[in-house]
C-alpha cells in the first residue's frame, strides 16, 4: 500500500527499537502517562455526570422547575395559558401549584416540611415510581389525604391509614385562648422513598386542602408550575419564548437548589482540570523525547535532506513520530477509562470497598464530553510535536555532515 515517504519514515522511527534506552523510557512514560490520565479523567467525569443526573432526577423531579405567579389571574387565563404552551418544547407539563411551610405533628414527634399541593395525578410523575406503601392515586380520591416519605413516617411512627395533624403557622385562627395555627387532621395514604434530601423535607396533598389551610378565598387562583424535560433548560426556554413570562412573577428551581448544583458543577470542572494536568505533563514528555531524538538523528535527517526531503517533509516525519505516542496513549487510555467507568462498582466490591447502605456509584457517559476529551488529548499531543519538528527541519546538512 502506498504511503507518503514522510509518513513511512515517521512510523518506522516510532516502531523501531531505539538505540537510546533513556529516550525509549521517556516515550514509554509519555504513553503511560497519557493513558492513566485519560483513564482517570473519563472515570471521574462519568461518575460525576451520573451523580449530577441522579440529583436532577431525585431532587428536581419533585419540585417545579419554573413557577409563575400573578395576583390578578383568573381561571380562564390559566386554562388559556395551559392550552397555548402545553405542547411547547422543552415543556413537559403545566399545572396549578400551591405550597406552604407546615409542621407534621404526631404523638411521637413533630417535623417541619414543605407541603406541596397538587392538582393533577401526573404533576410530579417521578414520585409515583418511588411509592413504597399505599396508593398515590388515593391522594386525589380521598379528602384530606397526605403522602410523605417512608423516612418521615418512621420518625413520626405513622402507618398508612392513620391520621396526622398538619399545622401551618403562617395562617392562624384567633380564639379566646389566643392565636392558634391553622391545622387539620390528614390521613396518610401513601409513602415513598427517593433516597435523597426530598425524603426529609417534602410532603404532598391535594392543592385545594393546602389552600384551605392557608385560609385562602375559594376564588383565589393558584400559581402555575412548569416541569421541563431537563431542568437545566430553563434559560433556553426563556430565551426562546420570553413572552411566556410576560406579566408573571417568575421563580425557578435555582432559587432553592441552585447552590448545590453549582457546587457539583464546580467540583466537576476542578477535578477535570487537575486530571487534565496529568495528561499535559505526560504530553510534555513527548516534547522531551522528540528533542532528544532530533539530536540523536541529526545525521540521518541531514542525509534525508540531501536525497531530496524538504524541511516540511522532515517536520512531518517527527510530527508523525510524536503523534504515534499521543494516539497510542489516547486509544489505550480511552478504552481502559470506558471499561473502568462501566465496571466501577464491581471493581470496588472486588477490592473490598463498600458504600454505606449498599449505594452504587452512578455512571453516565456523555458522548459529546468524551469526544471533547479525546480530541483535546490528540490536540495537545500534536502541539507538543511542533517545536521539536521545527527544530529538526532547521538542521543544516552541510554542517552536520562536514566531518562524516
pLDDT in tens, 200-249: 888 999 888 888 888 887 667 788 888 888 888 888 888 888 888 887 88
* 129 bridge partner residues: none
Predicted local confidence at residue 2, as pLDDT: 44
What was the pLDDT predicted at 399?
60
- DSSP reduced 3-state for 360: coil
Which domain range does residue 346 map to?
5-56+261-400
Q: 10 Å Cβ neighbour count for 101?
A: 11
Q: Between 298-306 and 254-296, two packed helices, what is the crossing angle to 10 degrees?
A: 80
Whether the Cβ atoms of residue 31 and residue 325 lie closer than 8 Å to each other = yes
Of 217, 252, 287, the position where a domain reaches its end is 252
**Shared-domain flag, residues 235 and 319:** no
Task: Using CB atoms within 10 Å of the CB of residue 384, give its burial: 0 to 12 exposed, 13 to 18 middle, 19+ buried.
Answer: buried
Same domain assignment for residues 127 and 216: yes
159 and 103 together in one domain? yes
Higher pLDDT, residue 7 or 268:
268
Average pLDDT over residues 272-278: 82
Side-chain half-sphere CA neighbours of 106 within 13 A: 17
**287 & 327 share domain:** yes
Tell which of 218, 233, 252 closes a domain: 252
For residue range 23-44, what is the model confidence (pLDDT) as tens digits?
A: 677 777 788 888 888 898 999 8
379, pLDDT greater than 80: yes
- Same domain, residue pair 368 and 309: yes
Write the DSSP string, 47-91: HHHHHHHHHHHHHTTSS-SEEEE-TT--HHHHHHHHHHHTT-TTE
Provide CB contacts within 8 A for 178, sequence distance 6+: none
Tens digits of residue pLDDT in 320-358: 877 888 888 889 999 999 999 999 888 888 887 776 556
* 171 and 46 fall within a common domain: no
Same-domain check for residues 229 and 334: no
Rounded Cα distance, 199 and 203, in Å: 8
Reported as type and span, the H/E element at residue 367 is: helix 367-393
Q: Which of 190, 225, 252 is the last residue of a domain?
A: 252
Residues 276 and 181 occupy one common structural domain: no
Q: Indicate the range of 30-39, 308-317, 370-379 predicted with least confidence.
A: 308-317
Q: What is the pLDDT of residue 52?
A: 84
What percentage of the chain has pLDDT greater than the value 90?
13
**Alpha helices, H only, 307-356:** 311-342, 344-350
Q: State how many domains the chain has.
A: 2
Q: Between residues 392 and 51, which one has the greater pLDDT?
A: 51
The per-residue pLDDT for 163 is 92
Tell whether the model's pLDDT for residue 13 goes beyond 80: no
The mean pLDDT value of the chain amounts to 81
Q: Which pLDDT score, from 0 to 100, does residue 62 have? A: 81
Give 313 or 160, the one with higher predicted confidence. 160
- Mean predicted confidence (pLDDT) in 306-318: 74
Residues 77 and 185 in one domain: yes
Contact 315, 392 (CB under 8 A): yes
Cα dist. 82→65, 95, 220, 224, 228 in Å?
16, 8, 18, 9, 14
pLDDT at 58: 77
- Beta-strand relationship, 178-192 and 66-69: unpaired
161-170 pLDDT per residue, tens: 899 999 988 8
* Judgement on whether residues 19 and 138 belong to the same structural domain of the protein: no
Residue 264 C-alpha cell reads as 457539583
Residue 309 has pLDDT above 50, yes or no: yes
Phi, psi dihedrals of residue 143, rounded to the nearest 5°: -65, 140
Between the alpha carbon of residue 305 and those of residues 290, 316, 368, 391, 404, the distances in Å are 18, 13, 43, 14, 15
Q: How many C-beta atoms surround the C-beta of residue 63 within 10 A?
A: 21
Q: Are residues 268 and 162 in the same domain?
A: no
Reported as a single tens digit per residue, the pLDDT across 90-106 is 888 888 888 888 999 98
pLDDT level of residue 187 (50, 70, 90 thresholds): very high
Mean pLDDT of 150-157: 91
For residues 54-69, average pLDDT: 82
pLDDT > 70: what percent of the chain?
84
Statement to judge: residues 242 and 371 lie in one domain: no
pLDDT at 1: 43
Amino acid at each position: 500500500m502506498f504511503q507518503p515517504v514522510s509518513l513511512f519514515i515517521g512510523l518506522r522511527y516510532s516502531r523501531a527499537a531505539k538505540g537510546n534506552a533513556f529516550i525509549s523510557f521517556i516515550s514509554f512514560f509519555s504513553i503511560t502517562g497519557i493513558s492513566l490520565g485519560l483513564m482517570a479523567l473519563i472515570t471521574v467525569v462519568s461518575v460525576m455526570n451520573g451523580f449530577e443526573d441522579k440529583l436532577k432526577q431525585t431532587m428536581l423531579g419533585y419540585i417545579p422547575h419554573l413557577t409563575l405567579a400573578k395576583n390578578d389571574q383568573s381561571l380562564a387565563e390559566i386554562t388559556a395559558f395551559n392550552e397555548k404552551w402545553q405542547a411547547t418544547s422543552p415543556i413537559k407539563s403545566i399545572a396549578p401549584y400551591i405550597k406552604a411551610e407546615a409542621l407534621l405533628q404526631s404523638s411521637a414527634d413533630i417535623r417541619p416540611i414543605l407541603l406541596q399541593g397538587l392538582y393533577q395525578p401526573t404533576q410530579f410523575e417521578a414520585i409515583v415510581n418511588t411509592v413504597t406503601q399505599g396508593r398515590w392515586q388515593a391522594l386525589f380520591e380521598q379528602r384530606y389525604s397526605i403522602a410523605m416519605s417512608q423516612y418521615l413516617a418512621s420518625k413520626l411512627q405513622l402507618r398508612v391509614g392513620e391520621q396526622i395533624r398538619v399545622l401551618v403557622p403562617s395562617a392562624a385562627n384567633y380564639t379566646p385562648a389566643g392565636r392558634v395555627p391553622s391545622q387539620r387532621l390528614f390521613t396518610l395514604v401513601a409513602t415513598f422513598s427517593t433516597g435523597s434530601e426530598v425524603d426529609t423535607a417534602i410532603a404532598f396533598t391535594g392543592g385545594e386542602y393546602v389552600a384551605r389551610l392557608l385560609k385562602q378565598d375559594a376564588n383565589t387562583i393558584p400559581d402555575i408550575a412548569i416541569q421541563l424535560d431537563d431542568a437545566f433548560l430553563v434559560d433556553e426556554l426563556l430565551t426562546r419564548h420570553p413572552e411566556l413570562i410576560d406579566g408573571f412573577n417568575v421563580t425557578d428551581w435555582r432559587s432553592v437548589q441552585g447552590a448545590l448544583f453549582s457546587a457539583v458543577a464546580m467540583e466537576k470542572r476542578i477535578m477535570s482540570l487537575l486530571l487534565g494536568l496529568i495528561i499535559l505533563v505526560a504530553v510534555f514528555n513527548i516534547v522531551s523525547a522528540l528533542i532528544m531524538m532530533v539530536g540523536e538523528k541529526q545525521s540521518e535527517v541531514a542525509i534525508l535532506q540531501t536525497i531530496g526531503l524538504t524541511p516540511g517533509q522532515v517536520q512531518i516525519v517527527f510530527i508523525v513520530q510524536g503523534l504515534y505516542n499521543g494516539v497510542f496513549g489516547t486509544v489505550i487510555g480511552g478504552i481502559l477509562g470506558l471499561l473502568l467507568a462501566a465496571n466501577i462498582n464491581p471493581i470496588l466490591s472486588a477490592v473490598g470497598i463498600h458504600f454505606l447502605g449498599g449505594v452504587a456509584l452512578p455512571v453516565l457517559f456523555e458522548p459529546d464530553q468524551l469526544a471533547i476529551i479525546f480530541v483535546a488529548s490528540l490536540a495537545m499531543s500534536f502541539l507538543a510535536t511542533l517545536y521539536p519538528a521545527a527544530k529538526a527541519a532547521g538542521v543544516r546538512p552541510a554542517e552536520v555532515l562536514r566531518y562524516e
